[in-house]
Structure 1
Amino acid sequence: MRKKNTLLATAVIMLFVMVSFTMTEYSSYPPKKNAPIYTKVTYEGNDQVYKDFPLEEDEFFNPILQGCYPDPAITRKGDDYYMVCSSFAMFPGVPIFHSKDLVNWTDLGGVLDDINEFNPHDTGISQGVYAPGITYNPHNDTFYMIVTAFSGGLGNIIVKTKDPMKGWGSPIKLDFGGIDPSIFFDDDGKAYVVHNDAPDKGKELYNGHRVIKIWEYDTEKDQVIEGTDQIIVDGGVDITEKPIWIEAPHIYKKDGSYYLMCAEGGTGGWHSEVVFKSDSPKGPYIPAPSNPILTQRYFPKDRENKVDWAGHADLVKGPDDQYYGVFLAIRPNEENRVNTGRETFILPVDWSGEFPVFENGLVPIEPKLKMPKGVTNKTGQEGYLPNGNFTYEEDFSSDNLDFRWIGLRGPREAFIKQTKKGLEITPFATNLKELKPTSTLFYRQQHKTFSFSTTLHYQPKSEKDMAGLTAYQNEGSNYVFGVTRKGSDNYLVLQKNSKPDRRGEIVSEIVATEPIELDGPIDLKVSAEGDNYEFSYAVNGSNFKTVGGTVSGDILSTDVAGGFTGALLGLYATSGNDITLD
């Protein structure tokens, strides 16, 4: 069983030897003398909705995971709940969380945390891994995480553990195509894998036509059984209506019957959750007459505190013996931008009738919920993740860096070093526009109104050196705000990189530059109110000055930049700066 990564220098050195990256993607270690040092970071979220809807003693806020934590899947063993989400090319892959009550969650890091086994070093940010499933098998007391990996030729893989607190085994490559797999264990011990796939060759009827397949699974060999695959849903609830993207399937058993729950409508404005029933795990499955059982697609577009795109759900029985469903949804800003990305929400589920229905999932979703009976809200306390409006401060003095800090296309441990002076970042000779690992420590944007600031100690030596901040949606849609050099002078630069032009090239624009004296540390900040972003600095610890005025956050939104992720805020350094100052 692999243990979680440590920050020991010996492990870092071994990482450079073992990883299959080319050496040009990394700078030498230990860091250069002019490596930037970050001594403090403060993230402050201040959304109006949490002021307008203060919590009562028995309530908690929805979403439960704010920021880019989409495609949740959940399982339970006894009193322990484990939930996983998509991570794409972020590293480690597949973030995993633990709870005793579905309200208070701790971050356990990532399931795929070994770069030798999951290596997204050359993939776009929306590739990597997504749509995981997690299931506890009581027949062998084992947890299974199954996912599609779009990197390294992995395809669909499964990993196992007896205890998610202690890490996971190595990935096992599975012999089937398609995406969005999940695994189901029946009462008799038999196992089945279900997933989204294309229709049989020559039978695709329209764009977006997909099917759900099922396989029998051999738990001894950890492989699907050849020849057992069959289609159990073709198209969706009603193929005559040409439904698109039936996906994210999960099977449940209740009162002797089998229920197949799937997302339908695509992960956008027509997203929904639907359910089918059968007497056998392999079908035939009959759709519920009340479908969809969860959606936000029927309501006015200009509604207040809008939650949208709800779907891609999973069910679990809660501590009060009531069912709950976790699912993805978005909270767009006033310009309908999706900068916080797809987030993880939860709702109680009424399964008193024949089919499950998300309670208040067919009306506009509210920003807070009643807690399960007997639960105390401890979010933001005692190591539990915060919720609602909060301030998170990091001085990098802890032995173990918080799991909310992530790498992109590679481990954060490859370029960071925690020192007595602060966090030291080794600049890679790559920049944010390249499909390579970058020396950037990322934190997810979790609010529509926020500020993210840091104190930087740095002296660039040449025009190739740069360090500062980034607001990043993908390699072709981001802002870079940092210190570099021209001749004998230091400059503060704000650059906008936007989606490719007609030639397929990223369009880069210098929004503003400002000469600056670096006699000591400099404070850098990015802040936003909805779609309006500002980048500012201070050299005396206060009196921040804006550089470049107010800029649009449109390129940090999924609907403009494309892909599946939300905006990331990063501490960025490079020895391959390509910004040319006039």
Structure 2
Amino acid sequence: MPSAPESGISLSNPVIPGFHPDPSVCRAGEDYYLACSSFEYYPGIPVFHSRDLVHWTQIGNALDRPEQLRLAGARSSGGLYAPTLRHHDGRFWLIVTNVSGDGNLLFTATDPAGPWSDPVRLPGVRGIDPDLAWDDEGTCWCTVAGVSQVRIDPHTGETLGEPRRVWSGTPGAKAPEAPHLYHIGEYWYLLIAEGGTERCHAVSVARGRTPDGPFEPCPANPVLTHRGTDHPIQNTGHGDLVQGPDGSWWMVFLGVRPHGGSPGWHVLGRETFLAPVTWVDGWPVVGEATPSPAPPPWPLRRPAAVPVRDDFEGGGLAPGWISPRFRHEEDCTTKERAGWLSLRARGASLDDTDVTFVGRRQQHPACRARTLVDPAGGSGGLAVRLDERHHYEIEATADEVRVIARIGPLRSVVASRPSTGGPVVLGVETSPAREVTDPREGPDTVALGVREADGTFTELARLDGRYLSTEVAGGFTGRVIGLYASTGTVHFDWFDYEPYED
């Protein structure tokens, strides 16, 4: 790889850190757009923009209206799976599966920042992880996990003919999924993930002369996997190919960064990584994707400063804020008290599926989050959430501040102190394990406490972070740090999120 450009900016993997799995990328002129799975969270399907494939800015969420996205009753790690984002015939096309009831849905937009259309339903497309590709005659091919394929009318959702199995990956490898079909040169390439989403995750490829095959598997499959290695990035899979600004080829894919002892725990969820691709004998060869590889061979754009503080003064929430299943405007508003976010409780705690919670994905192993909360009208606070059965929170009432831990079937108040009754600054801090010498050592600790009037931070509890990991809780999501109300109405003046070097 070439040396760094004079600007001094370098490529840093993951290119989109935190809970941003199943990346799908497309190019429109000089611009790149990328979408990720969002599961049970609303709004759904975050959309990012870049000019260099390295620095990405979230420009919106594709599904941000109730008529587009129904998640009532969705279990954690249910909801929206594996979108495919494409640019074709002057429009952007997004196809995705809502596994919690609506099946496969297709949306379009002229501007990827939105608004996106109401859904076109695809009742004849059976299976998850749908892909879209058009041939030279304008026929639209939809390929799904399995791997099967059917022609569709993308405007009406009608299937044209019967689905047929085309290729199911490496014999003996489980879960062929995440298909993407491309016409590159003289071949059609079918890229899939296989091996399951855990440590055996991989990307394999086959090629054929027509979009419906027959497909010949690459003799070097899998073309990407870190299984059986001590690579710091694991669970690599679910790739999508794209050409760089100079015509070179690249792959975005998901991976995790496990930490701690055995078996290793990843707490940020599955993240989006970038690796170079070369072509040898007509097959893609995926290069190294280290945490900080050398930059690509084109000038990198200096990223805009990412705000770490939200003062809730813009009349609405930024696109990075998400909530489980739905966000009721009357329960989450910046209009009730100017410059404050007001949350009105629905569920009685984070154990409930209808809890009033707004959060942002944890994107760094070492980070601090702070908020100023006024609990005079109820109770609520600052939480680190994985799902309803796995979360830590520090909660303020008019009488006390308490730390609560929910781990599987167990729920406990682990620390408390009297409150002055007025606004209080609550804080959360995550600290990765430094030198791991014990195979039982967890990935990090989560400290919860309050900031005193003199600016010092008083830690009330420090909890083992492994219990807020996928390896313990199961599922497909990562940590989300945010604000919630458990009774009455509570108000939040500001929220800070700050990564730091541990």
Does TM-score exceed 0.5, indicating one fold? yes
Picking from 431, 436, 446, the partner of 1:529 is 431
Separation in 2 of the partners of 1:92 and 1:176? 24
Is 1:126 aligned to residue 77 of structure 2?
A: yes
Whole-angstrom CA distance in 2 between matches of 1:327 and 1:559: 20
**Equivalences for residues 403-418 of structure 1 within 5 A:** 403-411=319-327, 413-418=329-334
Is this contact kept in 2: 1:473–1:555, CA < 8 A? Answer: no
**Which of 95, 103, 118 in structure 2 is aligned with 1:170?**
118
Q: What is the CA-CA distance between 1:429 and the residue it aligns to? A: 4.1
Q: How does 1:169-248 map to 2 (within 5 A)?
A: 169-174=117-122, 175-196=124-145, 211-227=146-162, 229-234=163-168, 236-237=169-170, 239=171, 242-248=172-178
Query: Contact 1:522 / 1:540 at 8 angstroms: preserved in 2?
Result: no
Aligned residue type for 2:380: A
The one of 416, 425, 449 equivalent to 2:343 is 425
Work out the CA distance in 1 between the residues paired with 2:134 and 2:339: 51
Distance 1:162 1:557, change over 3 A: same
User: Which of 252, 258, 261 matches 2:182?
Assistant: 252
Q: Which residue number in structure 2 is paired with residue 580 of structure 1?
A: none
Tell me whether 1:538 sits opposite 2:451 in the alignment.
yes
Identity %: 32
Note the C-alpha offset of 1:351: 2.2
Distance 1:289 1:541, change over 3 A: farther
Cα pair 2:120 2:155 within 8 Å, conserved: no
Partner of 1:507: 410
1:441 equivalenced with 2:367 (yes/no): no
What is the RMSD of the two structures over their aligned residues, measured on CA atoms? 2.0
2:233 alignment partner, one of 307, 320, 325: 307
What is the distance in 1 between the residues matched to 2:373 and 2:141?
A: 52
* Residue of structure 2 equivalent to 1:454: 371
The counterpart of 2:99, out of the listed 150, 171, 175, is 150
Paired residues of 1:126 and 1:564 also in contact (CA < 8 A): yes
Counting only pairs closer than 5 Å after superposition, residues 99-118 of structure 1 correspond to structure 2 as: 99-118=50-69
Q: CA deviation at 1:424?
A: 1.9
Alignment counterpart, residue 207 of structure 2, candidates 264, 277, 280: 277
CA separation in 1, counterparts of 2:125 and 2:54? Answer: 36
**Cross-structure match for 2:43:** 92
The worse-fitting range, judged by mean Cα deviation, of 394-403 and 525-534 is: 394-403
Give the Cα–Cα distance (whole angstroms) in 2 for the partners of residues 544 and 58 of structure 1. 34
Instruction: Give the Å deviation of 1:334.
Output: 2.4
Residue 569 of structure 1 corresponds to which residue in structure 2?
481
Residue 45 of structure 2 aligns with an amino acid whose one-letter code is: V
Q: 1:401 aligns with which of 294, 297, 317?
A: 317
Q: What amino acid is the match of 2:414?
A: V
CA apart distance, 1:149: 0.2
1:477 is aligned to 2:390: yes
Q: Specify the SS of the correspondent of 1:555.
A: helix
Q: Which of these residues, 474, 495, 498, is aligned with residue 407 of structure 2?
A: 498
Taking the aligned partners of 2:15 and 2:370, their CA distance within structure 1 comes to: 24
Greater relative contact order (Cα < 8 A, sep 6+): 1
Offset of residue 397 of structure 1: 2.0
Q: 1:117 to 1:169 in 2, by over 3 A?
A: same
Displacement, 1:412?
A: 6.4
Q: What is the CA-CA distance between 1:279 and the residue it aligns to?
A: 1.1
Whether 1:354 and 2:282 are equivalent positions in the alignment is yes
Unmatched 5+ residue regions in structure 1?
1-52, 197-210, 500-505, 578-582
Q: Does the residue aligned with 2:242 lie in a helix, a strand or coil?
A: strand
Deviation of residue 359 (structure 1)? 1.3
Residue by residue over 1:486-531, the C-alpha shift from the partner in whole angstroms, topping out at 9 and shown as x without a partner, is xxxx0111111112xxxxxx3211211222222x321111111121
1:330 aligns with 2:260: no
Question: Taking structure 1 as reference, are residues 118 and 515 closer, same or farther at Cα in structure 2, changes over 3 Å only?
Answer: same
For 2:322, the aligned partner's letter is I
Spell out, residue by residue over 1:47-80, the C-alpha distance to the aligned partner (whole angstroms, 9 max, x if none): xxxxxx9x97141211111110000001112112
Q: TM-score, normalised by structure 2?
A: 0.89
Match of 1:340 in 2: 268
Contact map agreement 1:120 1:410 (CA 8 A) in 2: yes
* Residue 371 of structure 1 pairs with residue 296 of structure 2: yes
Counterpart residue number, 2:440? none
Pair 1:221–1:405, CA change in 2 (3 A): closer
Distance in 2 of aligned mates of 1:98 and 1:56? 21
Relative to 1, partners in 2 of residues 1:290 and 1:542: Cα closer, same or farther, differing over 3 Å?
Answer: same
Relative distance call for 1:263 and 1:429 in structure 2 (3 A) is closer
Rounded to whole Å, the distance in 1 between the matches of 2:457 and 2:159 is 59
The equivalent residue for 2:496 is: none
Give SS of 1:68's match.
coil
Deviation by residue 1:189-248 (Cα, 9 ceiling, x = unmatched): 11100001xxxxxxxxxxxxxx30010122453322142x110113x22x2xx1111100
Q: CA deviation at 1:115?
A: 1.4
Distance 1:516 1:167 in 2: 45
Give 5+ residue unaligned stretches, structure 2.
433-443, 490-502
1:262 Cα offset (Å):
0.4
Inter-partner Cα distance in structure 2 for 1:333 and 1:541: 35
Residue 261 of structure 1 deviates from its aligned partner by 0.3
